[in-house]
Amino acid sequence: MKSTLGIGLIGTGYMGKCHALAWTSVHAVFGDGPTPRLVHLAEVNGDIANKKAAEFGFAKATGNWRDLIADPEVDVVSVTTPNAFHAEMAIAALEAGKHVWCEKPMAVALADAERMAAAAKKSGKMAVLGYNYIQNPLIRHIETLLAEGAIGTVNHVRLEMDEDFMADPEALFYWKSEASSGYGALDDFGVHPLSLLLKLFGPVSRVFANLSKPYQDRPTQSGSRRAVETFDIASILFEIGTGISGVMALDRSAWGRKGRIALQIFGSKGTIVYDQERMNELQLYTVSDRPTEQGFRTILSAPHHAPYDRFIPAPGHGLGFNDLKIIECHELLNTIEGKPARIIDFDAGLVIERTVHAMAQSHHDKGWVSL
């Protein structure tokens, strides 16, 4: 195994910077595995690429992402571009013998996601998707609580994911309202709750979905208006193979919500509640408490919720979004080294993608769809 790994980054927006920070920090935080070397950065043109390479600390820059793929010094490629470009870039990297860390969702079209999974299998390289919320130490602890039977047999799960970046009806039309980007809230960020369901309970078995548009059109920079082609709201009933019923509500136009992923898990002996906007705490109710003390207790992140201890030695101080990305980066390095790793690879990602497309089919057919 190499003592260092050459890193290539395609895309330098919000998630591109998250990846860059993770690659920069992962060895300092965890102190094991190969040391990442920031080798090559690609953007839409050379000027932006050079500027971002200087900011992020990459040795080389290019306005042509294929130059990065062809670079023999690059061992791992981070793909952080808009959704429509994931398939082409990830497949090209795998075919060039590179490991891939690709942001979610896998692709806009299910056929492209299937090609990505096939390319990963054929290449023998590691291909991991950017589902960082599963890395939260408290989500890991919820998994432990469920395995230990802390709330008995789970019978119902409710999930909400809400943000307000599409809430203003007069916000300018941009690519997330184009059909080429996908269905909208369903696959833009609904895949995150699905990643939690997959890790905590396994795959969804059937779905019933309704998609809606709060605004039919948006203004453009030219002063005209353009029809919105995606759905910013999705409401879904689902079932998990073990007999668990569920409800999922997604909204990209929810004023006041900034990064909400609200998870409620109801069991025969208690309830677990978690909200990503308060990502360093969870609430636990158990009937095993005396009736005089029964109530939700708040549990704060602490060093005994690994790998919180790698960042902070004191409880209650809290991790952040970028810290979850560093943990995810470390899990990717673990899987490259052949160690046990907590990841969603392209095969597991394909399960999520098939669930998303089943939900879209349900909306179209106005009925339940089995997976």
User: Taking the model in full, what pTM does it have?
Assistant: 0.95
Residue 242 has pLDDT above 80, yes or no: no
Burial bucket for residue 110 (CB in 10 Å: 0-12, 13-18, 19+)? middle
* Span 285-300, pLDDT tens digits: 999 999 999 999 999 9
* Span 35-66, pLDDT tens digits: 999 999 999 999 999 999 999 999 999 999 99
Mean pLDDT across 165-177: 95
Any idea where the domains of the chain sit in the sequence? 4-129, 133-370
Percentage of the chain modeled with pLDDT above 90 = 97
Which pLDDT score is estimated for 158?
98
Which pLDDT score is estimated for 310?
98
Mean pLDDT across 243-262: 97
From CA 209, how far away is CA 364, in angstroms rounded? 9
- pLDDT interval class at 362 (50, 70, 90): very high
From CA 363, how far away is CA 212, in angstroms rounded? 10
* Span 313-341, pLDDT tens digits: 999 999 999 999 999 999 999 999 999 99
* Span 203-230, pLDDT tens digits: 999 999 999 999 999 999 999 999 999 9
Which pLDDT score is estimated for 243?
87
Residue 1 has pLDDT above 90, yes or no: no
* Span 67-95, pLDDT tens digits: 999 999 999 999 999 999 999 999 999 99
* Span 189-209, pLDDT tens digits: 899 999 999 999 999 999 999
Domains 4-129 and 133-370 share a fold: no
* C-beta separation of 224 from 172 below 8 A: no
Mean pLDDT across 107-118: 97
- pLDDT interval class at 2 (50, 70, 90): confident
Which pLDDT score is estimated for 241?
86
How would you write the chain as a 3-class SS string? CCCEEEEEEECCCHHHHHHHHHHHHHHHHHCCCCEEEEEEEECCCHHHHHHHHHHHCCCEEECCHHHHHHCCCCCEEEECCCHHHHHHHHHHHHHCCCEEEECCCCCCCHHHHHHHHHHHHHHCCCEEECCHHHHCHHHHHHHHHHHCCCCCCEEEEEEEEECCCCCCCCCCCCHHHCHHHCCEHHHHCCHHHHHHHHHHHCCEEEEEEEEECCCCEEECCCCCEEECCCECEEEEEEEECCCEEEEEEEECCCCCCCCEEEEEEEECCEEEEEEHHHCCEEEEEECCCCCCCCCCEEEECCCCCCCHHHCCCCCCCCCCHHHHHHHHHHHHHHHHCCCCCCCCEHHHHHHHHHHHHHHHHHHHHCCCEEC
For domain 133-370, which CATH number applies: 3.40.50.10490, 3.40.50.720, 3.30.1300.10, 3.30.360.10?
Answer: 3.30.360.10
Q: What is the mean pLDDT of the chain?
A: 97
Superfamily of domain 4-129: NAD(P)-binding Rossmann-like Domain (3.40.50.720)
